[in-house]
Chain A
Amino acid sequence: MAKNKLRVLPGFGLSLGYTVFYLSLIVLIPLLAVFLKAATLSWHDFWHIVTDPRVVASYKITVGAALSAAAANAIFGLIVAWVLVRYSFPGRKIIDGLIDLPFALPTAVAGIALTAVYSKKGALSGVDHLWTTSLVYLESKFSFLHVISVIGRKITYDRPGIFIALIFIGLPFVVRTLQPIIRECEPELEEIAATLGASRLQTLRRVVLPELLPALITGFALAFARALGEYGSVIFIAGNKPMYSEITSLLIVTKLEQYDYQGATAIAAVMLVISFILLLIINLLQKWSQRYRKS
């Protein structure tokens, strides 16, 4: 405690107290309530609910779609962020502003809009058609991969719809996390690399990417976490077929609508634990990448 007196800014005790209080009020107590409600179930009932095949299928779909959407966002979000920071072109400010829209738009609106544009009558029905044709082709060439049953034949009312909705809502997380880091990245470093004889690919791999990696992982983690809990946009586009395109949050809501509050919180508790573990792993990865960058 004696050390505290040496700090430049006073008030450690007060600010720590405030932090704990605030976090408890906003985050911990509501989450604790979920676990307490779930704890009113016997262990046997709890286990029975959370390992029901339909619930397990929904974990797989939710985590799988969230991971793949976050990965897609990491790749394409990086390109978007890079272009927005490094190049100047007419309309850049407007495009930059557009990035935040998925944050602001009610997700149900996003879901309905996406369903409308990709469905038979929609503006992007061609994409849907192209998707189906290419998957049918893939299936005919590589039938052992079972692409259609794993990925899904159509975009709307099928698994790819979930993926697209999650990309939509996750994009700003990656772009907004990367932009300040890219801005700090001095172009001179790349020039030095070039003068030292590095090829473009080497510069990218050895100089640029290591700088961006920690932020990229953070953006990925945020997009992933957001996607795990998403409800509004997905239910409009997914088709919600049990065992196939039913996400966990929908199952939770379905349970609530049957007045099964315990069942709903049991599944929610499991989802929380899964999310927590996955996010912990991603955070550790990020720590590791930072250390790697410094060395």
Chain B
Amino acid sequence: MFFGVVTSMTASAKTIQLLNVSYDPTREFFSDYNKAFNSYWKQKTGDEVVIKQSHGGSSKQARSVLDGLPADVVTLALAGDIDSLSSLGNLLPSDWQTRLPNLSIPYYSTIVFLVRKNNPKQIKDWSDLVKEGVSVITPNPKTSGGARWNYLAAWSYALHVSHQDETKAFDFVTKLYRNVPVLDSGARGATTTFIQREIGDVLICWENEAYLALKEFGEDACQIIYPSLSIRAEPAVSWVDRVVNKKGTREVAKAYLTYLYSKEGQEIAAKHYLRPIDPELLKANKNRFPDLTLVTIDEQFGGWAKAQKRHFADGGTFDQIYKP
């Protein structure tokens, strides 16, 4: 109703409201991107787009949308969370991933470590995280998308060094979580715990979140460590059909997401430390995005649906870690 009032006020040049429901560490990226898209859209159509943002743990955000939060677009930490909008709420078709280029993944990131200045515990790789006396901060994978990537990255590393031995991987991850003193519900909460409460020796986090923390709190507070192997963490985007049909915002919602793939969109993403999918732009930013071995969810885990069921569903490997 509110939207209706706003749009009917100006007949020629409309003001369109979009709600983008996103995950935790994209606040700064989208506040920049929204400005760029606003001027792009204004130039193209004359209409004003006001984009509202909502951020939180990825699954929590998906649940809000399922429960009725009228998101025109969702930009979540993993495709699995958007899948649930389709499978549980029928808010969008199940083949949503094929509607935008690169399986609706406009940028990607990876999982890195943030340690205290000068790395007092000498943390170099995943194997250092399971040592006694090392305290590791990572959010709860049941509620945080980033935490699920963290978990799978650790699992992949363990598989890699044990030549694909699943039992050893489970032991490794169990040991790692024994070193976790706090399970926050989202990635941003974990960063706060690490930086502001000074809890833990190492924070496992998104590469872009690590750079943001560095920028925010200065290089005398912490430094980034790249492990020998990590995971290609792919956030996904989609418009929500049920909402855009009702509000009549399909066209602008689609344009909003397509613009992420444009040169400007990719540049803003790179500026905010999200790895662009444009190979040239990635090469141009090589010093900010070092090369490292990245496994993918499809290769290593056979896709999100499988990984979700095996590791994060009730009774999955994550639950078994905490079995007495």
Contacts and interface: CB of A to CB of B under 8 A. Distances in A.
A119 B200 CA distance: 12
Interface stretch (B11-19, B180-188, B256-264, B271-279): B180-188
Interface stretch (B42-50, B58-66, B111-119): B58-66
Contact of B324 (A157, A243, A260): A243
B57 interface: yes
Nearest to B319: A54
A157 B63 contact: no
B197 interface: yes
A121 B198 contact: yes
B199 interface: yes
A119 B182 CA distance: 13
A48 to B, nearest CB: 10
A241 B193 CA distance: 14
Interface residues of A, number: 22
B2 interface: no
Contacts of B197: 115-116, 119-121, 156-157
B198 A240 contact: no
B323 interface: yes
Given A121-B196, A263-B314, A241 B324 contact: no
Interface residue SS majority, chain B? loop
Contacts of B184: 240
Contacts of B199: 119-120, 156-157
Contacts of A239: 181-183
A236 to B, nearest CB: 8
Interface stretch (A28-36, A63-71, A250-258, A275-283): A250-258
Given A120-B197, A239-B182, A257 B314 contact: no
B84 interface: yes
Contact of A258 (B193, B314, B322, B324): B314
A89 interface: no
A16 to B, nearest CB: 37
Contacts of B313: 258
A257 B324 contact: no
A164 interface: no
A259 B196 CA distance: 32
A235 interface: yes
A125 to B, nearest CB: 10
B1 interface: no
B5 interface: no
A126 interface: no
Contacts of A243: 322, 324
A258 B182 contact: no
B148 to A, nearest CB: 12
A240 B142 contact: no
B88 interface: yes
B110 interface: no
A131 to B, nearest CB: 16
Nearest to B84: A259
A257 B181 contact: no
B183 A241 contact: yes
A255 B125 CA distance: 33
B143 A254 contact: yes
Contacts of A240: 140, 182-185
Contact of A256 (B63, B84, B324): B63
5 contacts: A53-B323, A241-B180, A241-B181, A241-B183, A260-B314
Given A241-B183, A258-B312, 15 more contacts: A54-B323, A115-B197, A116-B196, A119-B197, A120-B199, A157-B199, A239-B182, A239-B183, A240-B185, A241-B182, A242-B183, A242-B322, A254-B142, A256-B63, A257-B142
Closest 10 CB pairs of A and B: A242-B322, A119-B197, A239-B182, A120-B198, A240-B183, A157-B182, A257-B143, A257-B60, A257-B59, A254-B142
